[in-house]
């Protein structure tokens, strides 16, 4: 279980998720609890059937299409149930009744999670697994056994737990790519048109827990089954513009505020990526300059810009590090319970100043304990 | 589409849902966006795996058990997907593979919604339908054709759209009762031990949209299927204390604040019901004293304390009424799009003063337009 230090500034939160949100967004959210500007009513008491909320959803759909540079042939949905619900919805929609296996890359903790859910529905082929190497690296292109007949290829763009990130699009262009981008969504520009579906829960880079963004190409759904429960049917959700049933109004509104911040304050995904790259570079540099005191977990070429996972020479030193970090006001630095160690998550909302403070703290700690 | 008037006091919100929350809760929520008291970090950046959040869930489970006076043999869950997800989870859990039909009462808009979802899974028998009478009343006990072999009886305790409410527990004690209490949950004391399952989305009486409370008797799940997707499996959710995957942290925290308010400020469900009864009485009195200008929709004996649905002599007068109400700062008074007319929702968070103001407004309007 994780301890939380007091830090009402919310500026040193390295949590793996729910993650830190930009300060200006937190201020706007706080204001909206009393009254949404231009509306004059608490965000918690506004009907999801109001004109205002329809405009929120429409603006947010457009902002996401604009940020990802996607044409109108992509639908943008805001669903509940987290990435976990997508682990089931994807095969229910694309794998049910198929004889060819869907291909999955197993590159870490999170990409392992959808496997049992997909296997309930149809045949699954793991096109590559990093289990044997302890998920310390990602595959090269020639290691992938890609099947041109597969209904889709599923992979996770950024492994939150192990700190691994694909820095390229993988897979075949003639097989639909379905990608879980939960932990690096809207963190950098990319060739998003090469994906047929992208999903991401909000609580890393784009909002609070409780809403999941799904971006899906219209053509992917042409043969989707007709007999799914309504809330698990992408087409029913598309038709309703995400208001098939009462949506998580608050969470969706916060995501809208984050996209406005990305567009108007940050200046788009290229600018966001420049800042994220700077943050990651500063922290990896500190690891590389530590004479092996802070070994990085991930192979050099696959290091994540979002989650920097590392160790210390002994478990005792790791505990001492986490305790000292808590005392210094840093939160969320404990590694995921499945791997332990240390993990610093550098999501969009985290400032460069926080990373610089952490680097300073780490250098002090190393001098004291090495 | 509904218009929203400006009213930053949030005290005249008669919305059918998301509904008004108590003023003191809104203040606490606002504070928590900056920093949760005693924690010192934004509620939007706190890990769901923290000790603190585990304590939130445990306290909330206990508060709900205490308010409903239920023994520990009832589990309390906080799920996503709204009541809509329960429309599917209930039959997936209790009806799959059964030959005896589950019985459903069809008493209005919302109790009609789960029927197609249940029929996807197994045989369904509608034990009574109010469709022929336009859903203006509820059944008497001798009108119900109850089957002792039914896997369960499903009904909706309060029909939000039509303003109908059961003022008694219906069904057989030897058939599990599954009840959708979305719109009157925690509004009054009752014999809740007579139910095997109760579910309620939060956005009427207990919190924001995005979380659903499920109360389920352990024994009901003993034969549940083993092959459900994890997030749709009540037992997996029970085992994880609602943290099977990332839960809607914010929405759950708000529901905790509402239950604390119910226990510590209001003084429990009997006191809440006394206030709710007073609010409903004042408004129905205004309808009954209006010489037929404001005819109530529901039959006298089935009138809901939560949703007061009524009409005016003509559709034109109804439009004029809604426009004038908006100008006067009242929000959410438009009837549900399926029935039109006027609906005043009197959820827990709405004060008696708001109802008195509405009654005054209605009397003025009637004098001007009759």
- pLDDT tens string A7-17: 777 889 999 98
Overall average pLDDT of the B229-240 stretch = 96
Residue matched to tokens 């609602």: B242
The whole-number pLDDT of residue B89 equals: 98
In a domain, A239, yes or no: yes
Distance CA A252, CA A63 (A): 13
Q: Name the DSSP class of A230.
A: G
B329 interfaces chain A, CB cutoff of 8 Å = no
Overall average pLDDT of the B334-355 stretch = 95
**Are residues B255 and B236 located together in one domain of the fold?**
yes
How many Cα atoms sit within 13 Å of B63 on the Cβ side? Answer: 23
* pLDDT tens-digit series, residues B41-98: 999 999 999 999 999 999 999 999 999 999 999 999 999 999 999 999 999 999 999 9
B6 interfaces chain A, CB cutoff of 8 Å = yes
Q: For this structure, is B289 an active site residue?
A: no
**Are residues B285 and B169 located together in one domain of the fold?**
no
A28 interfaces chain B, CB cutoff of 8 Å = no
Do residues A49 and A168 make contact, with C-beta atoms less than 8 angstroms apart? no
CA angle, A190 as apex, A189 and A191 as ends, to 5°?
145
* pLDDT tens-digit series, residues A116-146: 999 999 999 999 999 999 999 999 999 999 9
In a domain, A227, yes or no: yes
The whole-number pLDDT of residue A9 equals: 74
In a domain, A3, yes or no: no
* pLDDT tens-digit series, residues B4-50: 666 777 889 999 988 889 999 999 999 999 999 988 899 999 999 99
Query: B33, B95, B329: which to substitute to probe chain A, counting the most A Cβ within 10 Å?
Result: B33
Residue matched to tokens 């029970």: B238
Kindly report the CATH number assigned to the domain that includes residue B184: 3.40.640.10
Q: Give every CB contact of residue B182 below 8 A, 6+ residues apart in sequence.
A: B83, B110, B156, B158, B160, B199, B200, B201, B204
In a domain, A72, yes or no: yes
**B290 min Cα distance to partner chain A (Å):** 29
- Average pLDDT over chain A reads 96
| Of A303, A263, A265, residue with least CA distance to A284 | A303
Q: Name the DSSP class of A192.
A: G
The whole-number pLDDT of residue B5 equals: 67
Residue where one domain finishes, among candidates A245, A265, A285 = A265
B residues 60..89 contacting A (CB < 8 A): 80-85, 87-88
CB–CB contacts below 8 A, A to B: 238
Look up the ipTM and state it: 0.95
**Are residues B92 and B131 located together in one domain of the fold?**
yes
A residues 153..212 contacting B (CB < 8 A): 201, 203, 208-211
**Are residues B308 and B184 located together in one domain of the fold?**
no
Distance CA A344, CA A357 (A): 12
In a domain, B292, yes or no: yes
Q: Which chain B residue shows the shortest CA-CA distance from A333?
A: B47
The whole-number pLDDT of residue B226 equals: 92
Do residues B179 and B156 make contact, with C-beta atoms less than 8 angstroms apart? yes
Q: Which chain A residue shows the shortest CA-CA distance from B55?
A: A1
A310 interfaces chain B, CB cutoff of 8 Å = no
Q: Which chain B residue shows the shortest CA-CA distance from A12?
A: B41
Do residues A252 and A106 make contact, with C-beta atoms less than 8 angstroms apart? no
pTM here is 0.96
pLDDT above 80: residue A4:
no
Catalytic annotation, pick one of B11, B51, B98, B110:
B110
Task: Check CB contact under 8 Å for A209 and B48.
Answer: yes
**Are residues B147 and B96 located together in one domain of the fold?**
yes
The whole-number pLDDT of residue B11 equals: 87
Number of domains in chain B: 2
Q: For this structure, is B204 an active site residue?
A: yes
Q: Which two tokens stand for residue A22?
A: 């930009």
A residues 236..275 contacting B (CB < 8 A): 244-251, 254
A1 interfaces chain B, CB cutoff of 8 Å = yes
The whole-number pLDDT of residue B1 equals: 47
Q: For this structure, is B222 an active site residue?
A: no
Task: Check CB contact under 8 Å for B52 and A229.
Answer: no
**Are residues B124 and B167 located together in one domain of the fold?**
yes
- Average pLDDT over chain B reads 96
**A259 min Cα distance to partner chain B (Å):** 16
Catalytic annotation, pick one of A128, A184, A204, A233:
A204
Task: Check CB contact under 8 Å for B80 and A83.
Answer: no
B91 interfaces chain A, CB cutoff of 8 Å = no
* pLDDT tens-digit series, residues B139-163: 999 999 999 999 999 999 999 999 9
Task: Check CB contact under 8 Å for A249 and B208.
Answer: yes
**Are residues A290 and A150 located together in one domain of the fold?**
no
Query: B109, B204, B210: which to substitute to probe chain A, counting the most A Cβ within 10 Å?
Result: B210
Task: Check CB contact under 8 Å for A250 and B250.
Answer: yes
Residue matched to tokens 């763009």: A157
Q: Which helix (H) or strand (E) holds A193?
A: none
In a domain, A20, yes or no: no
Name beta bridge partners: B308: B344
E strand segments, chain A: 74-79, 102-106, 124-129, 153-156, 158-159, 164-165, 177-180, 197-201, 212-217, 307-310, 342-345
Residue where one domain finishes, among candidates B265, B298, B327 = B265
Lowest average pLDDT, out of A48-52, A157-161, A255-259, B198-202, goes to A48-52
**Are residues A52 and A145 located together in one domain of the fold?**
yes
Residue where one domain finishes, among candidates B246, B265, B284 = B265
Distance CA A117, CA A119 (A): 5
Cross-sheet strand order for the sheet of B197-201: B74-79, B212-217, B197-201, B177-180, B153-156, B102-106, B124-129
Catalytic annotation, pick one of B180, B184, B233, B302:
B180
* pLDDT tens-digit series, residues A15-48: 998 888 999 999 999 999 999 998 889 999 999 9
* pLDDT tens-digit series, residues A205-252: 999 999 999 999 999 999 999 999 999 999 999 999 999 999 999 999
The whole-number pLDDT of residue B370 equals: 80
Which band of pLDDT confidence, cut at 50, 70 and 90, is reported for residue A267? very high
**Are residues B187 and B259 located together in one domain of the fold?**
yes
In a domain, B70, yes or no: yes
| Domain enclosing residue B350, as ranges | 267-369
Task: Check CB contact under 8 Å for A88 and B232.
Answer: yes
Q: How large a percentage of chain B has pLDDT more than 70?
A: 98
Which band of pLDDT confidence, cut at 50, 70 and 90, is reported for residue B2? low
The whole-number pLDDT of residue B339 equals: 92
The whole-number pLDDT of residue B240 equals: 95
Kindly report the CATH number assigned to the domain that includes residue A289: 3.90.1150.10
| Of A359, A357, A349, residue with least CA distance to A187 | A349
| Of A217, A215, A138, A213, residue with least CA distance to A182 | A213
Q: Which chain B residue shows the shortest CA-CA distance from A226?
A: B120
Do residues A312 and A294 make contact, with C-beta atoms less than 8 angstroms apart? yes
B28 interfaces chain A, CB cutoff of 8 Å = no
Task: Check CB contact under 8 Å for A47 and B244.
Answer: no
**A36 min Cα distance to partner chain B (Å):** 8
A7 interfaces chain B, CB cutoff of 8 Å = yes
Nearest-by-Cβ selection for A21 from B44, B230, B231: B44
**A141 min Cα distance to partner chain B (Å):** 32
**If DSSP states are collapsed to H, E and C, what string results for chain B?**
CECCCCCCCCCCECCCCCCCCCHHHHHHHHHHHHCCCCCCCCHHHCCCCEHHHHHHHHHHHHHHHHHHCCCCCEEEEEECCHHHHHHHHHHHHHCCCCCCCEEEEECCHHHHCHHHHHHCCCCEEEEEECHHHCCCCCCCHHHCCCCCCCCCEEEECEECCCCEECCCCCCCCCCCEEEECCCCCCCCCCCHHHCCEEEEECCCCCCCCCCEEEEEEHHHHCCCCCCCCHHHCHHHHHHCCCCCCCCCHHHHHHHHHHHHHHHHHHCCHHHHHHHHHHHHHHHHHHHHCCCCCCCECCCHHHECCCEEEECCCCHHHHHHHHHHHHHCCCECCECCCCCCCEEEECCCCCCHHHHHHHHHHHHHHHHHHC
| Of B369, B175, B366, B353, residue with least CA distance to B275 | B353
| Of B312, B341, B64, residue with least CA distance to B211 | B64
Distance CA B250, CA A252 (A): 13
**Are residues A34 and A136 located together in one domain of the fold?**
yes
Tell me: cis bond preceding A18? Omega within 30 of 0 counts: yes
**Are residues B69 and B208 located together in one domain of the fold?**
yes
Q: How large a percentage of chain A has pLDDT more than 70?
A: 98
In a domain, A21, yes or no: no
* pLDDT tens-digit series, residues B247-293: 999 999 999 999 999 999 999 999 999 999 999 999 999 999 999 99
pLDDT above 80: residue A310:
yes
The whole-number pLDDT of residue A1 equals: 47
A residues 272..291 contacting B (CB < 8 A): none
**Are residues B146 and B212 located together in one domain of the fold?**
yes
């Amino acid at each position: 279980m994780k301890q939380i230090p007091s830090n009402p500034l919310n500026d040193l939160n390295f949590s793996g998720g729910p993650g830190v949100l930009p300060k200006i967004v937190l201020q706007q959210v706080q204001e909206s609890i009393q009254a949404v500007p231009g509306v004059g009513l608490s965000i918690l008491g506004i009907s999801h059937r109001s004109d205002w909320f329809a405009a929120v959803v429409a603006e947010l759909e457009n902002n996401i299409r604009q940020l990802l540079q996607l044409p109108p042939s992509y639908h943008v949905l805001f669903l509940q149930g987290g990435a976990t619900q997508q682990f089931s919805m994807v095969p229910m929609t694309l794998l049910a009744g198929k004889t060819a296996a869907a291909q999955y890359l197993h590159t870490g903790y999170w990409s392992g999670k959808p496997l049992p859910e997909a296997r309930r529905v149809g045949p699954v082929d793991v096109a590559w697994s990093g289990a044997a190497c302890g998920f310390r690296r990602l595959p090269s292109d020639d290691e992938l056994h890609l099947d041109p007949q597969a209904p889709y290829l599923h992979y996770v763009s950024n492994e939150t737990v192990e700190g691994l990130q694909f820095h390229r699009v993988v897979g075949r262009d003639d097989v639909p790519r379905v990608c879980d981008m939960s932990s690096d969504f809207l963190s950098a520009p990319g060739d998003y048109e090469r994906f047929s579906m992208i999903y991401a829960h909000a609580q890393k880079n784009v909002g609070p827990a409780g809403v999941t963004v799904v971006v899906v190409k219209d053509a992917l759904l042409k043969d989707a089954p007709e007999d799914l429960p309504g809330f698990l049917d992408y087409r029913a959700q598309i038709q309703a513009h995400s208001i098939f049933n009462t949506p998580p109004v608050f969470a969706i509104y916060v995501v809208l505020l984050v996209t406005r911040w990305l567009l108007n304050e940050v200046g788009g995904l290229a600018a966001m990526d420049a800042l994220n790259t700077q943050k990651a570079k500063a922290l990896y540099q500190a690891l590389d300059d530590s004479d092996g005191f802070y070994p990085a977990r991930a192979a050099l070429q696959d290091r994540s810009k979002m989650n920097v996972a590392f160790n210390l020479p002994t478990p005792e030193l790791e505990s001492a590090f986490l305790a000292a970090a808590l005392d210094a006001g840093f939160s969320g630095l404990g590694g995921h319970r499945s791997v332990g160690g240390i993990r610093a998550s550098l999501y969009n909302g985290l400032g460069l100043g926080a990373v610089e403070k952490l680097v300073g703290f780490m250098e002090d700690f190393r001098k004291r304990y090495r």
